[in-house]
Structure formats: C-alpha cells, structure tokens
Amino acid sequence: MANKIKISELIPKGAPLSTTDLLMISQETPDGFESNSITGAEIIESAQEGLQRTLVSGTSIKTLNGNSLLGSGDIAISTNPKLLGFSGKIGTQTSGTAVTICHSVLIPANTLTTNSILQIVFRMYRQNGNVGQMYGRIYFNTSNSLTGASLFNTTFTMNGGGTQYLGLVERNLSYNGTTLIGYSNVAFSEFTTGTALTTALNRTVDNYVLLTMACQNSADIANIDIVKVFAYV
C-alpha cells in the first residue's frame, strides 16, 4: 500500500515546471487506489492557451526587407521611386504679373545619387478669370523661396479668352550627381524632340522644387492644383 501524503505536505519541486514532469494523484477506493495524472507538457499547454507565443524573427514572424520586426521603433520603408511630395488641391494663388510659389516640394539632402531621375508633374489651373495668359515655371532653390532660385528655363503658357483652364506639365530630369538635364521646350509634355536644358544641383544639401504661376492680367487668378514629384534613386 502506498504512503498517504497530504497535498499540503508535498515538497515543492524548487525548479520551473518542465514538460517531462509528471503530477500523479491517487485516490483511495474500495478496491484499492485510482490514479490520475497530468504531464508537465499538458499543464504548460493549458496555461498558455490563448497567449501569444514568443515571436522568433524569421521563424514565427516574417522579416521586412531583411529587417527584424521585433522590438520597438519605426522601420522606414524604402520605395523606388520615392514620392517626394504631392498635392491634389490648389496652393497659393497669384494674380497679376507677380511670380508666386503655388506649391513647393523638398528634395532632402543626399536623396539624389549619381544616377537618378527627377520626375516633376504639375497642373496649371486657371482659378478665376479668363482674360490673359498664365505662366507656369519650375525653379530650384536651397530654401523655400524664389529669391536667388535657379530657373528651369522654360515657361509654360496657357492662353486666355478661350478654353485653356488647365494644363498638365511633365518634365523628367536626368541627374548625374551634379547636373539636372531636362527638355527645353514650351510644350507641356516631352513626347517630341527638343534641346537639352541643364541646371546645376548640389545633391548634398536640401533643395526645393518651386512650382510657380504668374498672370499676364490682374483680372485673372492662377494656381496649381496637381503636384507630383518623384525621385528614382
């Protein structure tokens, strides 16, 4: 006959429960003893039911571009091309001959490499009036200001008095680390031949793409209502 021990008299194991442990309790019956047992593995499984398992990077949780997702903090997701900025609404309006920045987009320092493409798309918008011409231009500057800015030397023109209310302009500029090369033509798109236009750009500092409008007539109001600037790097 087995010894009888009260549960309160059991000696603690003194170590964490392991999967190989076995807990057995015997109950005295008229015929002798009836035993019930449970393994350490079953206790652990039961205790962990509904709990999140410890994540193992690359095993139970995927990695992101080779980076572990474990821990705190932010993981910047790099895309190519990089969207440097966009807008789907009008910016600062202008009237009269004042050249005004309607929208600007920052090119952070060291974004461009020695082999990059800068894609600039914007839509000139006749916000009010239909009297005279409207002029869209692209400038580059190291500050968000026109003063001292370099002109991408093409003027995009919408005529007044007709149906020229919108004009979508696109320029793709190649960049070799020092110089932007674009298409010099007053045409809004580039799907034709033209001469090359170069603009020096120091990629190691912040640069702004300044998208401006001006009007021929003070009765008109010009603006820009679509902006997309991408960098292929």
Partner 1 sequence: MNESEFHFEGEAEILNDEQAHVPTDRGVIFMDTTMTIDNESFNNINDFLTKLYGK
- Residues that bind partner 1 in the complex, under the rule CB under 8 A: 96-99, 139, 146-151, 153, 198-200, 214
- Nearer to partner 1 (CB atom), residue 117 or residue 151: 151
Which residue, 119, 88, 127, is CA-closest to 209?
Answer: 119
Q: The tokens of 180 are what?
A: 């932007």
Least CB distance to partner 1 at residue 171 (A): 15
Least CB distance to partner 1 at residue 158 (A): 17
- Nearer to partner 1 (CB atom), residue 107 or residue 149: 149
Least CB distance to partner 1 at residue 216 (A): 11
- Nearer to partner 1 (CB atom), residue 85 or residue 96: 96
Least CB distance to partner 1 at residue 182 (A): 12
Dihedral, CA atoms, 94, 95, 96, 102, nearest 10 degrees?
10
C-alpha distance from residue 65 to each of 39, 83, 142, 232 (Å): 42, 19, 33, 19
- Nearer to partner 1 (CB atom), residue 207 or residue 233: 207
Q: What is the DSSP letter of 40?
A: H
Q: How many CB atoms within 10 Å of residue 224?
A: 27
CB 80 within 8 A of CB 233: yes
- Nearer to partner 1 (CB atom), residue 164 or residue 199: 199
Which residue, 92, 85, 106, 100, is CA-closest to 228?
Answer: 85
Least CB distance to partner 1 at residue 149 (A): 4
